[in-house]
Chains A and B, each alone.
Chain A
Amino acid sequence: MKIVVLVKQVFDKDSNINVSGDGVLTNREDLTLSTNESDAYALEEALQIKEKNGGEVIVVSVGNDSVLTVIKDGLAKGADRGLHVKIDNEESLDALDLAKLIHASIKDENIDMVLSGLQSDDKGNGQTGILLAELMNLSHASLVMGTEIQDDNSIRVKRELEGGWFQWTDLSLPTSLTIQSGINKPRYSSLRGIMMMKKKPIDVKSAEDLGFTALQKSKVMKMYIPEKTKETVYIEGSVNEIVDQLMDKFANEIKIF
Chain B
Amino acid sequence: MSILVFIQQENGKINRLSLEAITGAQQLGAKLNQPVTACVFDENSANELKSYKLDKIVCINDSQLVEYNPITFANVMEQIISNENSTLIIAGHTYEARDWIPRLSARLDLPFVSDCTGFKTDPNFVVIRSIYQGKISSDVSIENNNGFISFQSGSFRADEIQVGSCEVIQVSVDLSQSTDLVRPGEKFQEATGAVDLSRAKIIVSVGRGIGKEENLPIAEELAKSLNAEIGASRPVVDYGWLPHERQVGSSGQTVIPKMYLALGISGAVQHQVGMKGSDCIVAINKDPNAPIFEIADYGIVEDLFEIVPKLTEKLNAR
Contact = CB atoms under 8 A, between A and B. Distances in A.
User: Which of A123, A168, A218, A247: most chain B CB closer than 10 A?
Assistant: A218
Contacts of A229: 294-295
B137 interface: yes
Given A95-B112, A218-B113, A17 B299 contact: no
A46 interface: no
B269 A124 contact: yes
B91 to A, nearest CB: 13
A181 B234 contact: yes
Given A134-B106, A233-B299, A239-B310, A164 B141 contact: no
Contacts of B158: none
Interface stretch (A79-87, A104-112, A138-146, A200-208): A138-146
Interface in A128-180: 130-135, 138-143, 160-172, 180
Nearest to A161: B95
A119 B43 CA distance: 34
Contact of B112 (A96, A228, A233, A234): A96
Contacts of A257: 318
Contacts of B208: 13
A195 interface: no
Contacts, number: 246
Interface string B289-318: 101011111111110001100110011001
Contact of B294 (A127, A168, A230): A230
A16 B98 contact: no
Contacts of B311: 243, 246-247
B287 A16 contact: yes
A96 to B, nearest CB: 6
Interface residue tally of chain A, by bracket?
35 or more
B259 A256 contact: yes
A181 to B, nearest CB: 5
A219 interface: yes
A101 to B, nearest CB: 13
Given A17-B136, A133-B103, A218-B113, A166 B296 contact: no
A181 B234 CA distance: 9
A19 B251 contact: no
Contacts of B301: 234, 236
Interface residues of B, number: 93
A196 to B, nearest CB: 28
A191 interface: no
Given A13-B133, A223-B136, A235-B300, A168 B185 contact: yes
Given A165-B188, A167-B184, A225-B136, A233 B298 contact: yes
A228 B95 contact: no
B170 to A, nearest CB: 29
Contacts of A54: none
A240 interface: yes
Most B Cβ at <10 Å: residue of A132, A141, A171, A230: A230
Given A134-B106, A234-B300, A235-B300, A219 B131 contact: no
A165 B189 contact: yes
Nearest to B104: A134
A167 B294 contact: no
A91 B134 CA distance: 17
Nearest to A228: B294
A134 B115 CA distance: 20
A230 B139 contact: no
B37 interface: no
A11 interface: yes
A169 B258 contact: no
Contact of A220 (B115, B140, B185, B315): B140
B30 interface: no
Interface of A: 11, 13-17, 19, 23, 37, 94-96, 99, 121-127, 130-135, 138-143, 160-172, 180-182, 185, 215-230, 232-236, 239-240, 242-244, 246-247, 249-250, 254-257
29 contacts: A14-B287, A17-B135, A96-B105, A121-B132, A125-B115, A126-B115, A127-B102, A127-B112, A130-B106, A133-B103, A138-B181, A160-B251, A162-B250, A162-B251, A163-B254, A181-B235, A217-B142, A217-B147, A221-B138, A222-B138, A222-B139, A224-B138, A226-B136, A229-B294, A236-B300, A242-B300, A243-B314, A249-B282, A257-B318
Given A169-B182, A226-B294, 14 more contacts: A126-B98, A163-B254, A166-B189, A167-B185, A167-B186, A218-B143, A219-B143, A221-B139, A221-B140, A222-B126, A230-B294, A232-B299, A234-B299, A254-B259
**Shortest beta-carbon contacts, A-B, top 7:** A182-B238, A134-B106, A130-B102, A218-B111, A139-B181, A217-B111, A168-B185
